Structure 1
Amino acid sequence: MTTTANPSDYSAARARLLAEPGRGGAQRRAALARLADGWLTELFTTAGAPPGTALVAVGGFGRGELSPRSDLDVVLLHEGPIDGELPERIWYPVWDGGVALDHSVRTLSEARAVAAEDLKAQLGLLDARHIAGDPALTASLRSAVLADWRATATKRLPELHQLCLERAERHGELSFLLEPDLKEARGGLRDVVALNAIAATWLADAPRDGLDAAAARLSDVRDALHLTTGRATERLGLHDQDQVAAHLGVLDADTLLRQVYEAARTISYAGDVTWRAVERVLASRSNRGRRVSRLAFPFSGVGRGAGAVARGAVERRPLAEGVVEQDGEAVLAQGARPAQDPVLPLRAAAAAAQAGLTVSYATVRRLAAETKALPVPWPDEAREQLITLLGAGEACIPVWEALEAEGLITRLLPDWERVRCRPQRNAVHTWTVDRHLVETAVKAAAMTRRVARPDLLLVAALLHDLGKGWPGDHSEAGEVIVRDVAVRMGFDKTDTETLALLVRHHLTLVDTATRRDPDDPATVDLITKVVGTLPHLELLHALTEADATATGPAAWSSWRASLVDGLAARVAAQLAGGSSFPADADPTAEEERLAVEAARTGGPALSLLAQSHQDAFSTEPMGVELTLAVPDQPGLLGTVAGVLALHRLTVRMASLRELDPVGAGPVLLLSWTVAAEYGELPEAARLRADLRRALDGSLDVARKLAERDAAAPRRRGIATPPPVVTVAQGASSSATILEVRAHDAPGLLHRIGRALDAAGVRVRTAHVSTLGADAVDAFYVTDAAGRPLGAEHARDVATAVQTALG
């Protein structure tokens, strides 16, 4: 298509091009650029431009991409003095035609000097493209600018990243905004330009799968926005979305937004991966292979993996079975076999999040390509690893995004696809449905000390709005969905019913508190009938707050919080009276045999059994059952727990109780279920020998643990809610019950046992459980005479334990 230097001819030709049926997308953007090229070439020639000058397109125009209302961004390049009116003879016809023009007049040295001072100008020049005049001059400009960019990359890339962070702060995340800026928001078209600039340095490149398609989709939406509004706008306003969707042939505005969000997430994730790679390359260059502190380097806040490693020797530290930390990321151990270990994606994700890391890009790609689907129901470990991942709080988010970018989340939870990228057309909501669910789990992770079942709280938080992907009331639909999901995850019938109750009634508490009289006994009766038990009330109360605070600032206030808290307190008072701790089961024949042996010999009796818990994908033992019977002695709980910690065994469940099998005095029976942190399980004979040595005093467990901790390299971890130690008033008439809720860590039970021993109390019975990353323990303690502790004494003991846990 040709035109003349006459602005009206150009405008007419442009209008005909835009009206051509079937012409759209990248093809139309390229045609618009060619049309503008032809017009500017005629203007350049008509203006009488002398030799030694060139007209150069830069920015988006330089990339050969023009949206219907894009500016023409050009540089008039010259070698020596030129007629001062030459630029005006080119620019004025453009202005007369009503076309937006961004222009400059530069020599080669001036262009390089401006680029050196102005990063945005340098980015535009990286896309310089010849339009008219001396092509050698344009080629010299391109070569010089690229050479300068590569030579100064170590300085300019941190500056570019800072610009990206500031822009994201101003414009928000494109993936979640109801009225997003398609260009400036995080994940928008401006980020694609930044990624291309990074690639031009030759230091790193973005993952390219889906990136070009995502950029093209955002450009198509921007084109349609320009055509429907008649303005050069980048903001996809609510009132324009139906028209833009219709112009693109998309079903409706919600479908349009989902496509925009999906494209933005692809771009955002590519940016995270790329900036992470840049950080490592620059750190290795400036520190000779040693990593620099994130606080000293301007790439903090990215933390979302790539896959490259810094030059030189790289330290690999174990995180979990098959997972190690390398260069600030979680990667697969050399012996890991994803095809034979379907739990590995969740294990790697949980280990990374708990360590405050992310899973490397290469690792996520490999897991997505090689890992088989989880069996149904899930193995216990898979469920525990999901809970551990969610329990990491904020650190869960970048790991979750990495898994989702490669389709692993939908593979684990097929129902997730219906809510993924689903917009919420309510000003109260900050996030899309899927991100709101993750944010609710993040909020719930900070509330795990408030509930006896943090695992159910975290899973309910993640699943509570899954019904929004289905017709009808989302709470009712969600109840049906969560029953199916819970069974697939391997929850038993009781826990499945609890999750269904939480999802069905996740709005009931706040709705009732704000719409009914909380002082009316009928209001309290209503909630009492819904929850049924104090543990259910705890869970629903925490879920209500997590859901509301994750929704947005308008969804929760001190007034709403006070109403909900007040109603929950009244319901709790009505439900109070029963104990939430499990009753002791009758001892097994093996336990009775050990107790009799210990009572008769006066020494410890041990039974150590490795349980395979095998499924079709694994033949390795996944746990050890240890039973120990020993005549009562001070410090028994802490001593045994310390030996297990020395052998890097994590306590999953434990119980301690008194038996008197032959009337010769009390014998303490300890039943443990433990698992290796990583690597092989310890040899039974060695574990048995160390237990005997610890009990007879020849092995100083506390000193050994302190020495090991002092020698271990300090690893960055996540911030967790502080431990909570409380006295369960009135829950037992024969003992005082101390509840301990804390983040699980090596040696936790050892520290608790030592603190109780130092406080001079006897542990008569204990129930210990690890749920994901949280420990929820109950200790039935008495004084030396076997009596319950006085109220003040009990508070002092609780304070001492909490102090010991730090």
Structure 2
Amino acid sequence: MGRGARSPRRRRRGRHDGHRGQRLRPAEGPHRGVPRRGVRRLARPQDPARDRRGRRRRRDGRQHRHVRRADRQDRRRQGLGRAGRVGRPGAYRRDGRGRPLTEVPWSSDLSTQLAQQRRDRSDEADRLLRQLFMETTGSSESGGLALVAIGGYGRRELSPFSDLDVVLLHDPAVSPVRVEEVANGIWYPLWERRVALDHAVRSTPQMRARADDDYRAAMGMLDARSVAGDEDLVTALRADVLRAWRRRARERVAEVRAARAARIGRAGWLAHDAMPDLKESGGGLRDSVTLRALLATWLVDLPRKDAERLRARLLDVRDTVHEAAGRRTDKLIPELVPELAERWSLAPTDFDVGVRDVGRRIAHLAAVTWHRLDESLERDRHRRVGRRGPRIETEAPGVGVLDREVVITRDADPRTDPEVMLRFAATAARRRLPMNAAAVQRLVQDLGELPEPWPETTRRWFVELLSAGRGAVEVWEELDLAGLIDRLLPEWSGIRLRGSSSPVHRFTIDRHSLEACVQADALSRDVARPDLLAVAALLHDIGKGRRGDHSEVGAVLVRNILRRWGFPDDEVDVVSRLVRWHLLLPTVATGRDIEDPLTAANVAEIVRSSSFLDLLAALTACDAMATSDQAWSGWRRGLVLGLVEKVRSVLAGTDDERPGYEGWPPDRPMPELSGVTEQTVRVATENHHDGSLVTIVSGDRPGLLADLAGALSTAGLSIRSARIVTEANVAVTLWEVSRPDLDAQVLQQRVRRVLDGAVDLAARLTAVEDHPRVGVLDAMEQTATLIEVRALDRRGLMWTVARTITDAGHLIRSAHTSTYGDEARDVFYVVDADGAPLAPATASGLCDAITAALTAGPSARRGD
């Protein structure tokens, strides 16, 4: 039976809605529910491929029989169909087949196998529960008692380590003694078999009351399935819960929406988080179950086949994650990705991108569904209707707002005016309104080519889109999903949904770049050219995923991109340099001695102007804040801002030259050194940023810095930097550590025990298996040799390196550490006995010695 207009006298078949079987509601039609309002004497269709009743003929000449087709709205009217052909469609041409931007060749054989295994696990669990139920009750259909599978088990979607969600349902007339006897006869044998069980015992009124009180319980009961016992009891309960769900849908959707927002706030997004949760993250399995529940309200419709296909893909991935991890987990752990990709016969990157793309599409379906739901709940409340129909609020040429959606007006022609896409997107981002789905589809099909280079107005609208704050993220991602971003920036495909190799990144590279744009909008008043800052924030990581240093590769790409976008040559040069040096400030601030005047002088030679320094400092902050809280901690922020001020002084010519600098910060007074002997140990602490500064005064001796590093490490402190100054056999060391509120007396006692030889540091600070990288940094005009150590972060790392440098007869002027996840990058300023930098051959030999010390076992380090 077709979906076109039909006479109300014509009998309509009951059709299913996928939740309660057949004949639950009449078929949907244009005049449904309005008696005696059939449309008579309709004009016959002009399409020669259709008959007089509008039905398309089959190629073999027979007619289609649309019997019991699932009710749904026209997907093209929903704006959820595949993208059509680019260009103008013919009179009777159907939409062309679209192709996903990140298409991954998933193995259909493996998917079929995994789906069958899920059903087999559910069937096996059913058989076990039926057997226990029959053994306990003496009948497989005991009246008033039933075992009910809910949730994933109810949907027959058991993964290898899934729990069995089972409820023993009973009629209130059944005696409590009988209910307890049956429950014990079922639960105890399951526990003895070590079955992961999430169980409950409830009467039908209790189940209804719980569904009324807790929407989560109600959603779980929507998938309830009778396993054993009284099926009528389960059918009646499910019908009551479903009826109540639909009756209270308008108030329940607010609870569901708030809970979803809180969940995503905790778990992030499957498409963009560094370590997403396949179940809890936005776009994950929890979202797909929520879509099923929203569909059951009858308030909204969605392309169910697409949603179920995407959900099945995530279930397949979760099954393989369980198998690879050997335990229950929904986290897509990066370490498991190579093994998972091999199971799917995919490259690790393709597998990771493929999973994220599934999450992105589910999230998009969820966003569209929530928007359609809002429309159905608030229809006509905000519409302004004039004499000639709904009134559109004009926002820009060819762009307006209608029904709280941004639309493209009828007089606009994307074929001849492709700039309308940027006006459309910028308006939606600025107003924080959704883009009309039909308008997006119109752009997909009809958008012409933008001229190259872009006109100034096009650039201005593009920058306005990037400068729209949080609204730009949502708009950009929807355009990207539709394939329109590649029309503006083909290079975006290289970072789309790509995970970062850095453990401190919380987002994929593409989402990180968009988050940097959000931060750039917040810092727009701190720079003279916020437009260049916004563009640099978008493109600063565009070189990732390609061979070579991503900063150098990105700088070259950016020159080509900005010339295509019509930027003047001087602005192209500024943005390219920003991309090239966007890691300069954090690298120098955390890995160099910023108190050394030469450090600021070297940076000043690169930045060359205060205006560029302002842009670079703002881009550094945007990049770090978009990375993670760890990347822009109080300590890192303080170091970067301190370096920026020193470089600004150099550029202004107001810096104080200190050629005799020996490692002590000039803004800190030296502690009192009178009365210090060889046995003296004085410790003072003060809070600094999010950690502490520890000053230790003691008698100088060989290996002192290494022993003090060992003492702080055994105290459980993570060392960020260390400086040492010696004067008349007295050593003053300044340590920056990660923990605030230290007890100076307790720390002094621990340091004294180490210096007295009462602690075996080699035994306490055991080695780990590692393959460190040790090298000499190529620095300009440094007064010391800079040795960089890249190794696994662990307690005693600095002690091992410092001890090796001391044993080689060299001196450490200062040390600076940075930690990225479990990776440490430490830089040591090393001089010889005369205070001069090491000769190249000597430095190379020292690097080899440090590498050997870091790879040696504990016994070798103790000299046994």
AA aligned to 1:511 is T
Instruction: State which of 476, 486, 489 in structure 2 corresponds to 1:410.
Output: 486
TM-score for the superposition, normalised by structure 2: 0.57
Matched, 1:331 2:407: yes
Please give the per-residue CA displacement for 1:171-201, whole angstroms capped at 9, x wherever unaligned: 3333333333221222221111111111110
Instruction: State which of 633, 641, 663 in structure 2 corresponds to 1:562.
Output: 641
Residue 517 of structure 2 is matched in structure 1 by 441
Instruction: State which of 231, 242, 266 in structure 1 corresponds to 2:361.
Output: 266
Structure 2 unmatched runs, 5+: 1-108, 656-864
Residue 323 of structure 2 is matched in structure 1 by 227
Residue 68 of structure 1 is matched in structure 2 by 160
Aligned partners of 1:78 and 1:538: how far apart in 2?
71
Instruction: State which of 265, 271, 275 in structure 2 corresponds to 1:175.
Output: 271
Structure 1 unmatched runs, 5+: 1-19, 292-308, 577-806
Residue 15 of structure 2 is matched in structure 1 by none
Residue 479 of structure 1 is matched in structure 2 by 555
Matched, 1:138 2:234: yes
Residue 462 of structure 1 is matched in structure 2 by 538
Aligned partners of 2:121 and 2:513: how far apart in 1?
43
AA aligned to 2:270 is L
Evaluate the alpha carbon distance shift between residue 336 and residue 162 of structure 1 in structure 2; reply closer, same or farther with a 3 A threshold.
Answer: same
Aligned partners of 2:465 and 2:216: how far apart in 1?
40
Identical amino acids, percent of aligned pairs: 42
Evaluate the alpha carbon distance shift between residue 45 and residue 542 of structure 1 in structure 2; reply closer, same or farther with a 3 A threshold.
Answer: same
Contact residue 585 and residue 640 of structure 2 kept, 8 A: no
Aligned partners of 2:191 and 2:325: how far apart in 1?
21
AA aligned to 1:271 is A
Q: 1:123-272 residue pairs with structure 2 within 5 A?
A: 123-206=219-302, 211-252=307-348, 254-272=349-367
How far apart are 1:398 and its partner, in Å? 1.7
AA aligned to 2:159 is S
How far apart are 1:407 and its partner, in Å? 2.3
Evaluate the alpha carbon distance shift between residue 410 and residue 21 of structure 1 in structure 2; reply closer, same or farther with a 3 A threshold.
Answer: closer
Contact residue 432 and residue 471 of structure 2 kept, 8 A: yes
Contact residue 274 and residue 505 of structure 2 kept, 8 A: no
Contact residue 608 and residue 651 of structure 2 kept, 8 A: no
Q: Secondary structure at the match of 2:207?
A: helix
Contact residue 418 and residue 447 of structure 2 kept, 8 A: yes
Instruction: State which of 398, 420, 426 in structure 2 corresponds to 1:350.
Output: 426
Aligned partners of 1:156 and 1:463: how far apart in 2?
42
Q: 1:52-67 residue pairs with structure 2 within 5 A?
A: 52-67=144-159
Aligned partners of 1:321 and 1:462: how far apart in 2?
26
Aligned partners of 1:489 and 1:33: how far apart in 2?
56
Evaluate the alpha carbon distance shift between residue 283 and residue 343 of structure 1 in structure 2; reply closer, same or farther with a 3 A threshold.
Answer: same
Residue 24 of structure 1 is matched in structure 2 by 113
How far apart are 1:97 and its partner, in Å? 2.4
Q: Over aligned residue pairs, what C-alpha RMSD do you find?
A: 3.0
Residue 128 of structure 2 is matched in structure 1 by 39
Residue 723 of structure 1 is matched in structure 2 by none
Contact residue 331 and residue 360 of structure 1 kept, 8 A: yes
Contact residue 534 and residue 572 of structure 1 kept, 8 A: yes
How far apart are 1:366 and its partner, in Å? 3.3
Residue 282 of structure 1 is matched in structure 2 by 377
Contact residue 54 and residue 132 of structure 1 kept, 8 A: yes
Residue 104 of structure 1 is matched in structure 2 by 200
Please give the per-residue CA displacement for 1:285-318, whole angstroms capped at 9, x wherever unaligned: xxx7259xxxxxxxxxxxxxxxxx9xx9865311
Contact residue 146 and residue 228 of structure 2 kept, 8 A: yes
Evaluate the alpha carbon distance shift between residue 266 and residue 55 of structure 1 in structure 2; reply closer, same or farther with a 3 A threshold.
Answer: same
Greater share of helix: 1
Residue 320 of structure 1 is matched in structure 2 by 396
Q: Secondary structure at the match of 1:502?
A: helix
Aligned partners of 2:390 and 2:230: how far apart in 1?
50
How far apart are 1:496 and its partner, in Å? 2.2
Aligned partners of 1:77 and 1:314: how far apart in 2?
53
Evaluate the alpha carbon distance shift between residue 204 and residue 527 of structure 1 in structure 2; reply closer, same or farther with a 3 A threshold.
Answer: same
Aligned partners of 1:87 and 1:373: how far apart in 2?
69
Matched, 1:548 2:627: no
Q: 1:495-514 residue pairs with structure 2 within 5 A?
A: 495-514=571-590
Q: Secondary structure at the match of 1:38?
A: helix
Q: Secondary structure at the match of 1:569?
A: helix
Q: Secondary structure at the match of 1:467?
A: coil
Q: 1:717-796 residue pairs with structure 2 within 5 A?
A: none
Residue 305 of structure 1 is matched in structure 2 by none
Aligned partners of 1:75 and 1:238: how far apart in 2?
36
AA aligned to 1:569 is R
AA aligned to 1:63 is R
Residue 92 of structure 1 is matched in structure 2 by 188
Q: Secondary structure at the match of 2:233?
A: helix
AA aligned to 2:547 is P
Residue 723 of structure 2 is matched in structure 1 by none
Aligned partners of 1:487 and 1:461: how far apart in 2?
17
Aligned partners of 1:381 and 1:278: how far apart in 2?
36
Residue 706 of structure 1 is matched in structure 2 by none
Aligned partners of 2:295 and 2:520: how far apart in 1?
40
Contact residue 541 and residue 579 of structure 2 kept, 8 A: yes
Instruction: State which of 56, 81, 87 in structure 1 corresponds to 2:174.
Output: 81
How far apart are 1:67 and its partner, in Å? 0.7
Evaluate the alpha carbon distance shift between residue 486 and residue 427 of structure 1 in structure 2; reply closer, same or farther with a 3 A threshold.
Answer: same
Q: 1:383-782 residue pairs with structure 2 within 5 A?
A: 383-515=459-591, 523=599, 526-556=602-632, 557=634, 558-573=637-652
Evaluate the alpha carbon distance shift between residue 36 and residue 514 of structure 1 in structure 2; reply closer, same or farther with a 3 A threshold.
Answer: closer
Aligned partners of 2:322 and 2:425: how far apart in 1?
42
Contact residue 537 and residue 619 of structure 2 kept, 8 A: yes
Aligned partners of 2:185 and 2:157: how far apart in 1?
25
How far apart are 1:144 and its partner, in Å? 1.7
Contact residue 382 and residue 404 of structure 2 kept, 8 A: no
Please give the per-residue CA displacement for 1:738-796, whole angstroms capped at 9, x wherever unaligned: xxxxxxxxxxxxxxxxxxxxxxxxxxxxxxxxxxxxxxxxxxxxxxxxxxxxxxxxxxx
Aligned partners of 1:170 and 1:22: how far apart in 2?
30
How far apart are 1:572 and its partner, in Å? 4.0
Residue 776 of structure 1 is matched in structure 2 by none
Evaluate the alpha carbon distance shift between residue 537 and residue 171 of structure 1 in structure 2; reply closer, same or farther with a 3 A threshold.
Answer: closer
Aligned partners of 1:473 and 1:208: how far apart in 2?
44
Aligned partners of 2:246 and 2:111: how far apart in 1?
41
Q: Secondary structure at the match of 2:543?
A: helix
Please give the per-residue CA displacement for 1:72-117, whole angstroms capped at 9, x wherever unaligned: 2223344442633223333333333222222334444332222112
AA aligned to 1:356 is R
AA aligned to 1:277 is R
Q: Secondary structure at the match of 2:547?
A: coil
